[in-house]
Every structure is written in C-alpha cells, then in structure tokens.
Amino acid sequence: MELTHPGELLRMEIVEGRDLTIAKAAELLDVTRPTLSNILNGKAAITPNIALRVETVFGGAARFWVRMQSSYDLSIAKKGFMENPPKITRYKLA
C-alpha cells in the first residue's frame, strides 16, 4: 500500500483546517511560499526543520511529521526496489 505524501495531510490539517492561504501559512512558518507550496504538493519533503516550525507555530509534535515523511520515503523506495531489485542475496552464516 502506497502512503499519501505527508504534505497532503499538512495542507488539510494546517492550511485548509485553519482557513489559511499558502502565503499566510508560509509567512507564519517563516518560509517562502514556493517552499511550502512544494511540500503541500508532494514535490518536497517535510524536513526536521519544517516539522519543528510546524510544531512551534501550530502545535502538535514535530516527530509526527518526521515519522510520516520517513514512512512515505521508505514506501516509495521499497516500490522502486521491488520494481528493479539489485543483484544481491541474503548473507548466510556458515
């Protein structure tokens, strides 16, 4: 099962959930509008720095956003790994 990019949840919970524009949310987080827009559109990751900004400005836990991003990244990597597996084998202890 492929996960949803965490930026989508950030958009729903933080921007739309508080009736903010992307520009206003970016201003509150002290990031550029394009930076936040890229995250919300799944084109960029929620970094630990962004997660800490969200925690500071809107509450919640930065760890939640970082873990969600990590789970998403691993899911995408696993899909690519399975589609084009490297030529490796499991190590067997003799």
Domain boundaries, the chain: 6-83
Which residues, in sequence order, are CB contacts of 60 under 8 Å at separation 6+? 54
Amino acid at 15: V
Residue 94 is predicted with a pLDDT of 79
CB 66 within 8 A of CB 6: no
Task: Give the count of beta carbons closer than 10 Å to the beta carbon of residue 91.
Answer: 5
Distance of CA 29 to the CA centre of its chain: 16
Residue 2 is predicted with a pLDDT of 61
Which residues, in sequence order, are CB contacts of 45 under 8 Å at separation 6+? 39, 69, 73
Residue 1 is predicted with a pLDDT of 61
Structure tokens at 54: 């969200």
Residue 25 is predicted with a pLDDT of 98
For the stretch 2-24, pLDDT in tens is: 679 999 999 999 999 999 999 99
CB 53 within 8 A of CB 29: yes
For the stretch 35-89, pLDDT in tens is: 999 999 999 999 999 999 999 999 999 999 999 999 999 999 999 999 999 999 9
Residue 3 is predicted with a pLDDT of 79
Pick the CATH number of 6-83 from 3.40.50.620, 2.60.40.60, 1.10.10.10, 1.10.260.40: 1.10.260.40
